[in-house]
């Protein structure tokens, strides 16, 4: 397994729409393993392939306290949504920035697992937020784009300043 570099907002590659995985093979399984290792090391609770500059529809999520609930979703799609919740979100591609975003309270998800089998599950609460957040990445959208233009400009400035300081 290997740690993968995470793209930082406003990198334009974060706006690339991911393509469907045609075949779940060893290459995809290695990507899933590397993404999981990267997510845990960051540390985070979700990571989309887009964030590591691989533009395939693959995400990993683990909202458990003890890192025992890894979900690897290949070609995930939300097939039903209901309710609304507003939660504070953060993102490994937008380090140190948190803000409130409105999302569906419950979602039904269909995806392939690393064995290539179709799975379906219902998610609510934090898992529902995380699924929606990561699927946005696959569609080229970063959570800060739900915020006002003023907040987006401030975030870009803050991140640019932080990049200059650490460079």
- Cite the annotated binding site for Fe cation by residue number: 91, 133, 137
Annotation: binding site: 91, 133, 137
Whether the CA torsion 160, 165, 166, 167 is positive or negative: it is positive
Contact 59, 46 (CB under 8 A): yes
Do 48 and 58 meet the contact criterion of CB atoms below 8 Å apart?
Answer: yes
| Per-residue exposure over 26-48, b if at least 16 CB sit within 10 Å of its own CB, e if not | eebeebbbbbbbbbbeeebbbbb
Contact (CB, 8 A) for 58 and 116: no
| 134 noted as active-site residue | yes
Residue of 77, 84, 134, 145 marked active site: 134
Cis bond leading into 27, ω under 30°?
A: no
| C-alpha to C-alpha distance for 129 and 4, rounded to whole angstroms | 24
Residues annotated as catalytic (active site), given as ranges: 134
């Amino acid at each position: 397994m290997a740690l993968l570099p995470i793209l930082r907002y406003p990198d334009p590659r974060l706006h690339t729409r991911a393509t469907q995985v045609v075949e779940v093979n060893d290459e995809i399984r290695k990507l899933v393993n590397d993404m999981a290792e990267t997510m845990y090391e960051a540390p985070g609770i979700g990571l989309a392939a887009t964030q590591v500059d691989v533009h395939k529809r693959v995400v990993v999520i683990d909202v458990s306290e003890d890192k025992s609930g890894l979900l690897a979703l290949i070609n995930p799609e939300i097939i039903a949504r209901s309710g609304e919740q507003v939660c504070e979100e953060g993102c490994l591609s937008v380090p140190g920035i948190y803000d409130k975003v409105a999302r569906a309270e419950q979602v039904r998800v269909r995806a392939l697992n690393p064995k290539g089998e179709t799975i379906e599950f219902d998610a609510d609460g934090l898992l529902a937020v995380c699924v929606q957040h990561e699927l946005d990445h696959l569609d080229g959208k970063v959570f800060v784009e739900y915020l006002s233009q003023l907040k987006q400009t401030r975030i870009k400035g803050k991140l640019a300043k932080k990049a200059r300081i650490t460079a």
